[in-house]
Amino acid sequence: MKLRNHVTTPLSFLLVLVAAAALLGVPLQAQQDDREFIPVTDAMLQDPDPDDWLMWRRTLNTWGFSPLDQIDRGNVAGLRLVWTRPLGPGLQQGTPLVYDGVLYMPNPRDIIQAIDAVSGDLVWEHRRERPDDLADYMIGSLIDTNRNIAIHGNYLFDSTSDDWVIAIDARTGEVAWETMVLDYTVNPANQTSGPIVADGKVISGRSCSPRGGPNACVIVAHDAATGDELWRRRLIPGPGEFGDETWGGVPFEERKHVGAWMVPSYDPELNLVYIGTSVTSPAPKFMIGGVENTHLYHNSTLALNADTGEIEWFYQHLNDHWDLDHPYERLLVDTAMTPDPEHVSWINPRLRHGEVYRVMTGIPGKTGVVYTLDRATGEFLWATPTTAQNVITHIDGATGAVTENPELIFTRENNEMLICPSFVTGGKDWESGAYSPITNMMYFPLRNACARMLAIADGSLYNLSQRIVNAPGTDQVGTVRAIDASTGETTWLYEQRAGTTSLVATAGGLIFGGDSNGRFRALDHETGEVLWEVNLGSQVTGFPITYAVDGTQYVAISTGSSLSTRDNLRLTTELQPGTGNNLFVFALP
């Protein structure tokens, strides 16, 4: 099927922007068509200008931290809306990129917009024509979402809903190259997140529809300049490969759905790409090879050689019977290791207390458990729970081996059990946390949600049915938790009724984040105190960023709807936010 791509350039400003700007006294600026475009280099990606936001979490270490400090704890209460614009329809979870005064916004359904980051005026729009039969092959509820794009050289990069990777000229919106990753009619894979660029390679993961079989479950690297495929890493071992025996004799073609559907991290010094994986389909292991088998590489962290795609090390976080995926952000931090046994449940007895380690840390999965690993070797260092969870009973500190709760492992159909957390909201879900080098703390949006769950062979994606419920002892669904990256101690906890969403940390001492009830707020990074809040009217589903142009700092956030916020709202039926897809940008007067 031949597809066409369209680029449109506006002839006038949107009336809503004119009215908003007039109301707020903000001057409208002309489009700067004569701006010289300087190609983005690997050096720029590894050490970005403080004014720019060049990738999903701004830096390759996935911190979600900005060194900008014009907006701080003392003046954040004065933030005002400076512009807004509507986004395209569909499930909306986008992250803007900002480079040299231009904001690039991924919309749902393979639309990318270039927008003047100061005025909100549209510079160009790229709209890819999508096949009309995607839902016949894909997981239909996931064909709209596009969380991020990447930039390198003169190009923006995206992984499309019909399983291509494309390069778009950042200056014009025209397609520079496009390379098919998979034939979606044969090996369908959902592309809910986009790539990163690591040393000139466009590296992308994907979910994989069960009907796509094991060959749909791949991480792929392309040459950023040409689109040539450089390597491909399958996430399900085949006959004769390491891990083949962990599937308990299940035929290769029946091994399904171990995806890597969030965005990788990258360490240039180690030349390692870190990415997490998801559950099998079906999820209950008695239905696929037996509960005693580990089914590699599901629910694992993989450290891949960026040049070859070879697995340098892996760590399995959970043998998952409950759809408690582990594909989320991996934070790469260098810090002294001083885990406090009063606050940390599982510690490696060989850990050299007080020594600085290069670690991969954070909450990589729905269980809400913090894992800290040596990112050079994969050695387990420490782990500890945060929100309510009952599926992990023990982690061996010496080996990192995880013991699942035997009373909660499904061994037959229609056996209902209380599982914490639930499999849609978590614990934690795809909404990202952040790390601040100023406080050495990690900040995570987490949920207090469990589920009455049972295994049922109904032909659904996971062969699970659930009824989501509040975690025992609380009606506060949403939290933001601050955790010391060295000690593992929770230093503060913010709680509220509405489920919380993605965060960004700044050198101004602020944590910006939203919730499923349409509130967007700034918290004090040391105390969790709410310093500023605004009602945006619709669920806050995008990833917040901050950037600067000509000495003015801006904060951007988008609203819409998502499967995660929808399920959070089932626990808070008194909250009735809208679902409008919009981008909002704030600054000081």
State how far Cα 419 lies from the chain centre. 23
Per-residue pLDDT reduced to its tens digit, 64-109:
999 999 999 999 999 999 999 999 999 999 999 999 999 999 999 9
| Pairwise CA distance, residues 35 & 33, whole Å | 6
Residues contacting 198, CB < 8 A, separation 6+: 60, 264, 266, 268, 273, 306
The pTM score is 0.94
Which of 31-40, 183-192, 420-429 is predicted with the least confidence, judged by mean pLDDT?
A: 31-40
Give, for 464, the enclosing helix (H) or strand (E). Answer: strand 464-470
- Percent of the chain clearing pLDDT 70 (strictly above): 94
| Pairwise CA distance, residues 106 & 91, whole Å | 12
Per-residue pLDDT reduced to its tens digit, 526-583:
999 999 999 999 999 999 999 999 999 999 999 999 999 999 999 999 999 999 999 9
> So what's the pLDDT on residue 424?
86
19 pLDDT more than 50:
no
Confidence of residue 176 (pLDDT cuts 50, 70, 90): very high
Confidence of residue 33 (pLDDT cuts 50, 70, 90): low
What residue segments make up the domains of the chain, in order of their start? 5-587
Per-residue pLDDT reduced to its tens digit, 458-500:
999 999 999 999 999 999 999 999 999 999 999 999 999 999 9
> So what's the pLDDT on residue 34?
62
> So what's the pLDDT on residue 9?
37
| Pairwise CA distance, residues 298 & 250, whole Å | 15
285 pLDDT more than 90:
yes
10 pLDDT more than 70:
no
CA proximity to 193, closest of 66, 55, 298: 55
Between these two residues, 168 and 567, which has the higher pLDDT value? 168
14 pLDDT more than 80:
no
| Pairwise CA distance, residues 159 & 34, whole Å | 29
Q: Provide the 10 A C-beta neighbour count for residue 35.
A: 12
> So what's the pLDDT on residue 425?
87
Give, for 545, the enclosing helix (H) or strand (E). Answer: strand 545-549
State how far Cα 569 lies from the chain centre. 20
Instruction: Write the single-letter amino acid at 56.
Output: W
Between these two residues, 13 and 301, which has the higher pLDDT value? 301
* Domain 5-587 CATH (choose: 2.120.10.30, 2.140.10.10, 2.40.110.10, 1.10.3720.10): 2.140.10.10
| Mean pLDDT over the full length of the chain | 94
20 pLDDT more than 90:
no
SS3 content of the chain, % helix, strand, coil (to 5): 10, 40, 55
Angle at 298 (CA atoms; ends 382, 257), nearest 5 degrees:
150
For 75, left (φ over 0), alpha (ψ -120 to 50), or beta?
alpha
- Percent of the chain clearing pLDDT 90 (strictly above): 93
